[in-house]
Structure 1
Amino acid sequence: MIVYAGIDPVTGKRVYLRETIQGTDKAAHKRAEKTLNKLLAQADKQQTATSSVKFSFALEEWMRTNEIEESTSNTYRGYINRTIVPALGEQPVNKVSVRMLETFYSDLRRCRERCDGKPYVEYRKPDEHDCQKAKCRPHACSPMAQSTVRQIHAIISGTLDAAERWEWIDSNPARVARKPKQKRPEPTPPTPAEAARLSEEAFRIDDDWGTLVWLAMITGMRRGELAALRFSHIDLDQEVVWVHRNWVRGKEKDTKTHQRRRIALDSETVALLREQHDRVAERVGGAGAEFREDLFVFSSIETPDHTEPYSPNAMTPRYKKMATRLGINTHLHALRHYSATELLTAGVDLPTVSGRLGHGGGGATTLKVYAAWVAASDRKAAEILGSRMPKRRRD
């Protein structure tokens, strides 16, 4: 039994609802009539929406009512405008189906432009021009990354969840639609020898820079958390640092997981931070200002009074340039991996490592990212226990 249900807006192909009824007796005939009525009602529901709300409108309403960070909102807006609306925007929200979404994701994984497979030229200018000078080139399919498609799926799913709450649709098809599998995290921390070289080079360049790199290694703090760190967040007598702020796109905000965490410091790190405190106090006084505990620990040379933080966007290229000069292929965020893996390798328990990193999920995130090092730590624990057991005599 086949019933026409409209045109798939993603593929442009006709959509049919199908169901098979076995048998030729009277009972089978009744089942067929019942099934036909069901399919006709389903097709009618898909073709004649009870609401004229388009998916693009639902997206806008979800963005308007959803409480998310500005940086996240800007990222979502880019995906919506460039990818989602061109493909699904004109579709009534109650016609979005599981098959439609899976086809959409599959198309993106094949080509981010969702081309039809036919060759064409990517023109760089809309008006008449010299293609050679404008560097126009034939289109080459480039698949969209799995992580990006998953983000797009999250936007669509969030919108359809809202549409379901608002009673625009009966159920959210994105809830059961298959999305690309999440790639297993593969952290690549520097080796202890490389970390030592990076730290030495950082202090050779500048004491402030050396202290920042050292603190990143020891605490595993994110770059935005290092930028937002103030002297008032550090208790040198108790030897702890409180991490509860983050610097993102020129604004001070909560940490990524909206958690306030306490990180214990070793005596060497405390000594370095005391030196940083004294150095900044002298610098601020030399600039004709008064030192206050709420000043930022790290700042750029352009703001000697430390009223503005060292920009995270300046930290990353500076660190990368330093590492490249040393012949080490790494990046600033890898210092967070270094801190975690060194602790786990040393046998520190998972909840403690998770707490220092500020991971959510009670250690689930830490375990997922650093599974190999957790396994190594577990092996080390087994060897320690085994070494302490009495040895059995074997004949």
Structure 2
Amino acid sequence: MKGNITRRGNNSWRIKFDIEPNGQGRQTRYVTIRGTKKEAQVEAAKIIAAASKGDYVEGSKETVAQFVERWLRDWAKGNTSNKTYARYEELLRLHVVAHEGERRIQRLRATDLQALYAKLQRETGLAARTVLHVHRVVHRMLRHAAQWGVVHQNAATLVDAPSVPSTEIDILTPAQVQAVLQTLRASDSARRLYTVAAVALGTGMRRGELLALRWQDVDLDAAMVRVERSLEQTKAGLVFKAPKTRHGRRSITLPPSTVSELRTHWRASQERRLALGQGKAPEDALVFGEWDGSPRSPNALTKEWAAAMARAKITATLHSLRHTHASTLIASGLDVLTISRRLGHGSPAITLTVYGHLFKTDDRAAAIMEAAFAGAE
């Protein structure tokens, strides 16, 4: 496929080339390039090569801001949870549209993104982890832009992901676990947090999963709970949602002590309902709902937990109970696949990314190989 370059001004060049869109016959296209002749020749070579392979993207005046709104409406709204959508919307509008919104989406280059990430950290003081989240959502958005034929290439693939300093995860020692449980058990104001903590430690369930748990999901005779959904706090209110991955929907075996705590909690819940004239709880009643049976706010639970720990002068986040559960299983020598399934991770790779440093190196490898070589002889 051929094309030619014609000077239009001192630093302006017109590239003429042919395309065959969707088998509709050959059509002539013109693109104006600003810069030196050499730059125009390089751009012309790229355009002609793309056109010859059928990858040429027609010129568009759509801006980054306009595409962000289109992507949020046409893809993110129907393919992400309410919480994830709200986060994507916030990251894109506050940190991308605010700085690059007027630029045409087709003219967004890797250097522009690199400069944006540096600016977000240097001038706005945005945390490195937040900048990394910006990069990830931009990468996903531009991937769709390329798939939809809006841009020729996902510029984010040419940018190094912002580095984030590693942080230690919070894991409680056995003594700290006992201190937390004893504190919650002894305090009337924090007593309703006790069973939540006991189940979180015994199962490794996430906050939203605990708050979405129904009695119909609990089989105390079989010592098992079934995770079917999660409770999410959004701008529109509390929303029950399905797990993010197929492994998020799972069955978790219960330690005997956790079964005992849940039986006690069941009896107390029934007695309270009868005292309030509500009758026996239906099967779909929440295990950790409010007094009237309504869902308990995830954010309110976290604040309630933090206040209880502050009063007791104990450093322990609600999420540290999940980490403690995982670390205890790892220390026992349980295999990573089983741990991953129990935690509801999408794959063992995620488990290794979060907890890999806790797995002990197995020094038997050399001996195993030596035995194998000996047997081969």
Partner of 1:81: 93
After superposition, what is the alpha-carbon deviation per residue over 1:20-65, rounded to whole angstroms, capped at 9, x for unaligned? xxxxxxxxxxxxx9x56523637999xxx82111111111111111
Select which of 344, 351, 354 maps to 2:340.
354
Partner of 1:135: none
Partner of 2:41: 38
Alpha-carbon shift at residue 316 of structure 1 (Å): 1.1
Amino acid at match of 1:231: W
Partner of 2:267: 278
Alpha-carbon shift at residue 159 of structure 1 (Å): 2.3
More deviation, 270-279/49-58: 49-58
Partner of 1:327: 313
Task: Please report the RMSD computed on the Cα atoms of aligned residues, expressed in angstroms.
Answer: 2.9
Inter-partner Cα distance in structure 1 for 2:183 and 2:295: 22
Alpha-carbon shift at residue 329 of structure 1 (Å): 1.8
- Secondary structure of the residue aligned to 2:359 is helix
Cα pair distance change 1:82/1:329, threshold 3 Å: same
After superposition, what is the alpha-carbon deviation per residue over 1:342-379, rounded to whole angstroms, capped at 9, x for unaligned? 11112122112111111112x1111111122112xx45
Q: 1:371 and 2:374 equivalent?
A: no
Amino acid at match of 1:96: L
Q: What percent of counterpart residues are identical? A: 30
CA contact (8 A) 1:185 1:368 kept: no
Inter-partner Cα distance in structure 2 for 1:89 and 1:101: 12
Aligned 1:144-293 pairs, distance under 5 A:
144-206=126-188, 207-249=191-233, 250-257=238-245, 259-290=248-279, 291-293=281-283
Cα pair distance change 1:281/1:40, threshold 3 Å: closer
Amino acid at match of 1:104: L
Aligned 1:64-79 pairs, distance under 5 A:
64-66=73-75, 67-79=79-91
Amino acid at match of 2:84: T
Partner of 1:26: none
- Secondary structure of the residue aligned to 1:248 is strand
Partner of 2:67: 58
Amino acid at match of 1:285: L
Cα pair distance change 1:195/1:382, threshold 3 Å: farther
Alpha-carbon shift at residue 17 of structure 1 (Å): 7.2
Q: TM-score, normalised by structure 1?
A: 0.74
Cα pair distance change 1:55/1:4, threshold 3 Å: farther
Partner of 2:114: 102
CA contact (8 A) 1:105 1:179 kept: no
Inter-partner Cα distance in structure 1 for 2:132 and 2:12: 28
Alpha-carbon shift at residue 153 of structure 1 (Å): 1.4
CA contact (8 A) 1:208 1:276 kept: no
Alpha-carbon shift at residue 197 of structure 1 (Å): 0.6
CA contact (8 A) 1:102 1:179 kept: no
Alpha-carbon shift at residue 80 of structure 1 (Å): 2.3
- Secondary structure of the residue aligned to 1:251 is strand
**What 5-or-longer segments of structure 1 have no aligned partner?**
7-14, 19-32, 113-141, 387-395
Select which of 296, 299, 304 maps to 2:289.
299
Inter-partner Cα distance in structure 2 for 1:283 and 1:71: 33
Cα pair distance change 1:5/1:294, threshold 3 Å: farther
Alpha-carbon shift at residue 5 of structure 1 (Å): 8.8
After superposition, what is the alpha-carbon deviation per residue over 1:64-120, rounded to whole angstroms, capped at 9, x for unaligned? 1122111122222222222211211111111111111111111112122xxxxxxxx
Inter-partner Cα distance in structure 1 for 2:101 and 2:144: 16
Cα pair distance change 1:37/1:197, threshold 3 Å: closer
CA contact (8 A) 1:186 1:369 kept: no
Alpha-carbon shift at residue 154 of structure 1 (Å): 2.1
Inter-partner Cα distance in structure 2 for 1:53 and 1:102: 21
Inter-partner Cα distance in structure 2 for 1:182 and 1:72: 21
- Secondary structure of the residue aligned to 2:243 is coil
Inter-partner Cα distance in structure 1 for 2:121 and 2:239: 35
CA contact (8 A) 1:94 1:169 kept: yes
Alpha-carbon shift at residue 242 of structure 1 (Å): 0.5
Inter-partner Cα distance in structure 2 for 1:199 and 1:161: 47
Inter-partner Cα distance in structure 2 for 1:235 and 1:5: 74
Partner of 1:121: none
Inter-partner Cα distance in structure 2 for 1:148 and 1:59: 18
Cα pair distance change 1:315/1:40, threshold 3 Å: closer
Amino acid at match of 1:74: A
Q: TM-score, normalised by structure 2?
A: 0.77
